[in-house]
Amino acid sequence: MTTLCLDFGNTRLKAGIFEGDCFVEEVALPDDSIGPIEFLVNKYHPERSVLSSVVDHNFEIENLLASSTAFHKLSHTTRLNFTSPVGKPQTIGADRLALAAAAVHFIPAKTTW
């Protein structure tokens, strides 16, 4: 199964392509225009996609991904493999949520930090 992962941070926008659990390619995106995302969707035909964004972005991207893949936008409401004792979970950026979920996934024996 092919998954397109988008990471829109404060300094860089990038995409990662995965085949199952295997990383295939990273693509630096010049901006949040729809063209480069359409290109990746047409090239890889992902079945799934996920967007982690901490910036205001072009919402056409979400529409494209939702219409062509099983799309999920990562947020504080996403069901994850860990819990957080933060009083206001909506203040945790999607990038930090993704990083914490990856750490728990790849290092499951380390359950408390």
- Do the Cβ atoms of 54 and 9 come closer than 8 Å? yes
**CA dihedral defined by 32, 37, 39, 41, rounded to 10 degrees?**
180
Q: Are strands 13-19 and 2-8 parallel, antiparallel or unpaired?
A: antiparallel
Q: What is d(CA 102, CA 10) in angstroms, rounded to the nearest whole number?
A: 20
Q: Which of 21, 31, 32, 95 is catalytic?
A: 95
95 is catalytic: yes
Which residues are identified as catalytic? 95
